[in-house]
Chains A and B, each alone.
Chain A
């Protein structure tokens, strides 16, 4: 009997220990991931990546030449790297084209119309400052010519190679005023030096274009800006310059110049676990799961693993975007063209110093520390392309994320929703292509005349301008996937598991803390309250009766 009692006592103690051993929780309402503490400013020089190459390009006689232009450098490059240009020719960086295998939509910068600068057509000599080629100024560009490939824009390590808008993908070979009419001058590029110092791609070379998408730092994506060249830990736990110090290519692995990771057909859900190095697989190596697997919270907070079949990693781990630079959230082209009393271009700056009105472009809004919107996403993006019917009566979904709660391949993703107002051809009932930049009479950025800009732009599409135009409201959706915050800044449970929380608008699922049956709650609490009142009355009568001497 005594043994039996001690067994039970041991069990009791055991259970008390278990029932009191829950961990203390984090504060629930941290909305912004900000640096936890300000570190003292670091004065040390930015460290050059250690050169482990087996080839010192400065010793190659092919590169001991005073190159006159980019294509001459490329010619030297491909005299050894014989297949490089052909490989580049097959990539989106070169073709600016992408055929979505699911929707059959023809995408890529060459074809889509976005709600930033809208379209590349008739503006190639400007846009091609971010093309990996030389000379793309109009439709006559030779996409087959190997020396048209620009090797240096990605492989420069000197930081001195810069392609300028308006030069059709070339850097300036002569000293020139830049920005135009600024009174400042940019020295001619030293092609020999750049060529002799080529190396691997870097955060600086990728960022040269990708940090500045949409026409400025952090403008387009909100999760990519120049701070990623040397980020602190709070901003990007992987690229942290004093920590893991990842390059872009660490995740965006490339094979034969084809870089993994595509915004046109992203991998929204990856449930196959860790992608082991060397394993035969055609999976996208550029997902969180490819390294972390689908149960990355083992031993820390296993319940979180139960979320990975519904929620993209990014949803919790990127609590806000535009955490370093403000990102553009809207662009209204309809107000463009307003000039000063003297007939000069206006540029009005907001309180943070960024331009919020420009005669060339219209009105903008910028936001910092933006809380994303959340959407079901299965990786398929549907675009409204040139020729798709737009009659101006309803908001045009420039890009729309497909997916739903019923689709096992969908996850809840954080997104940036960018709204705009831009020209459409009211006669042809389509989004309009217009001529933006150039030295000619029709470019909107010189003459502020919509009719002329539309005439030239539409003519280039093969569908002549109808003569009638208007401005239509548009919306585009951008996945938030960069600038992963350290784990201590990840969302806490209650930021979603509450009424009016982050995922308030996400439908199709039952979420504890957010959802409940109002009728059941009313009936349940009423019944409990009536029971309480009943026993209080019963007890009251007992007390009164007992005082009366019963």
Chain B
């Protein structure tokens, strides 16, 4: 069996820390939103805010890493094999047909992954971050000349972002089992080494 090293140490650390923080923020965020009572509003706000700052810090490093290593190129969208991938997910995957995409170190995400992650990075994350920071600095709006904003709308867009993240999260976890073997992606994310057929 062939193995290739595709996720470097920082990348794995980034992924799992981000996963933990996002899970925490979803649990506490929906509690703050009033969807349920779990750890209490006060604790939920504290966890949510602390996790937000931790994630911002992590992101600063991750962005730096992406640009200095050139890894950002992994997210350049491509139309090639998109159809083949979609077809694979609705047919081939059930019959263990050969995976239409072959990972390499230079191209570790399949075309659908590229599109999905790009959407997360350019759409969901900025929406959550911008509305979240506005939410957090609500009392500085007048100083910043943002009096025309309404907290109700900022909160609504923050919640829209949260729902998109929740849906991405569900799909992402499931698709982690859709590698060459059900566990190959997950193992790769832990060890860095992806097993290929």
Q: A residues engaging B (CB < 8 A)?
A: 5, 8, 11-12, 15-16, 18-19, 21-26, 28, 303, 305-306, 309, 492-494, 497-499, 509-510, 512-517, 520-521, 523-525, 527-528, 531-532, 535, 538-539, 541-542, 545-546, 550
Contact = CB atoms under 8 A, between A and B. Distances in A.
Contacts of B46: 22-23, 25
Given A528-B167, A542-B93, A15 B57 contact: yes
Contact of B33 (A15, A28, A513): A513
B40 A550 contact: no
B174 A512 contact: no
B105 interface: no
A13 to B, nearest CB: 11
Interface residues of B, number: 50
Contacts of A499: 34
Contact of A512 (B47, B53, B155): B155
Contacts of A24: 43
Given A19-B21, A19-B24, A510 B42 contact: no
Interface string B140-168: 00000000001110011001101100110
A306 B138 contact: yes
Interface stretch (B9-17, B74-82, B188-196): B9-17
B17 A15 contact: yes
Nearest to B135: A512
Contacts of B39: 25
A21 B50 contact: yes
A542 B54 contact: no
Contacts of A521: 33, 35, 159
A493 B34 contact: no
Given A15-B58, A512-B34, 8 more contacts: A19-B24, A493-B45, A499-B34, A513-B34, A515-B155, A528-B166, A528-B170, A531-B167
Contacts of B167: 527-528, 531
A72 to B, nearest CB: 60
B104 interface: no
B170 A11 contact: no
6 contacts: A8-B9, A25-B46, A306-B139, A509-B151, A524-B166, A528-B167
Contact of B174 (A494, A520, A525, A539): A539
A110 B50 CA distance: 57
Contacts of B53: 18
Interface in B121-150: 138-139, 150
Nearest to A17: B54
Contacts of A542: 93-94
A296 to B, nearest CB: 15
Interface in B14-63: 17, 20-21, 24, 32-35, 37, 39-43, 45-47, 49-51, 53-54, 57-58, 61
